[in-house]
Each structure stands twice: as structure tokens, then as C-alpha cells.
């Protein structure tokens, strides 16, 4: 399934570890120059250094997906270095592991700021760079929680919102030669899921045929 991505530029938000890091590695292995955008400086720098040492073109940039200023700076940096963007992977996300009765409004808003507003800002900010590609691809990482439901109300609602945002922006950006799709992974064994309280993930495993995380 290897793809020839030579000459292409990719940006992966939340790319410092877990699923994001796996996406970064695959894109780099397939020939793309990859910009890792994340708030995890240590992990992101280490990953970029590791791949650069292996002969890949990978860089790390400290980046908060909820910050318009950070998006403006990131777009300027990609423009100055590459002049275009072919692949945008919106992977950055958080999970507020609180049931409905225990969740605060601030927690709810934080989940939507990162998971939904962060994706919105990404697409809006990168649109012109993506348009220059002529055949760009935006991949929004939603979740099975965006198709059915998990026992995290703010996460589930935000991932449904990402799914809807994907459909709407796909209609708008198709004229610019930009495809917008979402993918919906089930639970994956990453540092994020490893931090879940006892019993929390078990409630979602009934929907996984193998009965375990990917």
C-alpha cells in the first residue's frame, strides 16, 4: 500500500506521539516532507530528529491548534519553506473523560475548542496553501464516536461535529481542487487511551469484534 509522495508537503497536527506520530512516520516513509505541529515539544522534537537522522524531511513546530496567531505563523513558515501544502492531517484532539453529570461547561468548551475549532481553523488557515497544490487532501481524524457513541459526551459530540464539518468543507473546497475526508478509527492503544481510568475503555470494547484496542 506504499504511496509515492515524493515532492509533496504534509502537515500533521497532534503529530508528536500516538496515532499522529504513526501518521507522520508513514507519510515520511512514503516520501513526503512533513511538518509536525504539536504542543508536545519534547516528543515532537525527538520524532523529527529520529526521522531526519533516517534521511527523511521532517520538522517540528510548537503549535496550538486553537490559536489563530499560531496558525498564521505556521502557514507563513510552510509557505516560506515549501510554497504549498499537499496534505493536511487534522489529528490533534483531547478527551474529557467525564460523564454528563460530572462534566463542567469549561470542560465541554475545551473539547470543542481543540477538536472542532482546531480543525476549522486548520482548514480555513491552510486553504490557500492547499489550493496551490492543485490536488490537495485534507484528512480529518474523527472517531467511531463520530458515527455511534462513546461514554464521553463532549468527545462524542465533538467528533460528530468534525464529521459534519468535513462534509460541509468538502462541498466548498472541491472547486479549489481540495478533497476533504474524515476517518473514524476505533479505540487505539496510545498514551492517550492508556491514561483512561479503570473501566472506562472496557465500556467501549463491546463494539470491537476483537475485543481489544487496535
The 10s digit of each residue's pLDDT in 38-67 is 999 999 999 999 999 999 999 999 999 999
Contact 154, 111 (CB under 8 A): yes
The residue with cell 516528543 is 43
- For residues 69-83, give the mean pLDDT: 98
Cell of 127: 486553504
- For residues 69-82, give the mean pLDDT: 98
Q: Give the phi and the psi of residue 147 in degrees, each rounded to 5.
A: -120, -40
Predicted confidence band at 98 (pLDDT cuts at 50, 70, 90)?
A: confident
More confident residue, 102 or 33: 33
pLDDT at 52: 98
Say which of 60, 71, 82, 155 is annotated catalytic. 155
More confident residue, 190 or 123: 123
| DSSP state string for the chain | -----TT-EEEEET-SSHHHHHHHHHHHHTT-EEEEEES-HHHHHHHHHHHHHTT--EEEEE--TT-HHHHHHHHHHHHHHTS--SEEEE---------GGG--HHHHHHHHIIIIIHHHHHHHHHHHHHHHHSSEEEEEE--GGGTS--S-HHHHHHHHHHHHHHHHHHHHHGGGTEEEEEE------SHHHHTSPTTTGGGGGGG-TTSS--
Contact 44, 60 (CB under 8 A): yes
Predicted confidence band at 205 (pLDDT cuts at 50, 70, 90)?
A: low
Task: Mark whether 155 is an active-site residue.
Answer: yes
Q: How far is Cα 21 from Cα 137, in angstroms, rounded to an integer?
A: 19
Rg (CA), the chain: 17
pLDDT tens for residues 21-30?
999 999 999 9
**Beta-carbon neighbour count of residue 185 at 10 Å?**
12
Percentage with pLDDT > 90 across the chain: 75
Whether this model's pTM surpasses 0.75: yes
Q: How far is Cα 123 from Cα 89, in angstroms, rounded to an integer?
A: 10
Contact 173, 127 (CB under 8 A): yes
State yes or no: pLDDT of 203 exceeds 70. Answer: no
Q: Tally the residues of the chain.
A: 214
State yes or no: pLDDT of 147 exceeds 90. Answer: no
Closest of 4, 52, 7 to residue 25, by C-alpha? 52
Amino acid at each position: 500500500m506504499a504511496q509515492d509522495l515524493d515532492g509533496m508537503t504534509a502537515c500533521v497536527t497532534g503529530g508528536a506521539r500516538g496515532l499522529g506520530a504513526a501518521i507522520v512516520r508513514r507519510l515520511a516513509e512514503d516520501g513526503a516532507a512533513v511538518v509536525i505541529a504539536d504542543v508536545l515539544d519534547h516528543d515532537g522534537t525527538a520524532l523529527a530528529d529520529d526521522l531526519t537522522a533516517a534521511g527523511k524531511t521532517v520538522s517540528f513546530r510548537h503549535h496550538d491548534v486553537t490559536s489563530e496567531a499560531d496558525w498564521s505563523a505556521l502557514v507563513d513558515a510552510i509557505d516560506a519553506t515549501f510554497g504549498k501544502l499537499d496534505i493536511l492531517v487534522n489529528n490533534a484532539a483531547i478527551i474529557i473523560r467525564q460523564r454528563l453529570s460530572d462534566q463542567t461547561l469549561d470542560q465541554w468548551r475545551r473539547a470543542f475548542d481543540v477538536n472542532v475549532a482546531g480543525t476549522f481553523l486548520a482548514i480555513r488557515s491552510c486553504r490557500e496553501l492547499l489550493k496551490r497544490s492543485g490536488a490537495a487532501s485534507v484528512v480529518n481524524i474523527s472517531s467511531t464516536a463520530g458515527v455511534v457513541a462513546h461514554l464521553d459526551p463532549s468527545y462524542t459530540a465533538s467528533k460528530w461535529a468534525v464529521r459534519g464539518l468535513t462534509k460541509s468543507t468538502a462541498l466548498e473546497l472541491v472547486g479549489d481542487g481540495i478533497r476533504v475526508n474524515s476517518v473514524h478509527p476505533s479505540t487505539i492503544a496510545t498514551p492517550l487511551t492508556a491514561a483512561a481510568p479503570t473501566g472506562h475503555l472496557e465500556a467501549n470494547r463491546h463494539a470491537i469484534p476483537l475485543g481489544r484496542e487496535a
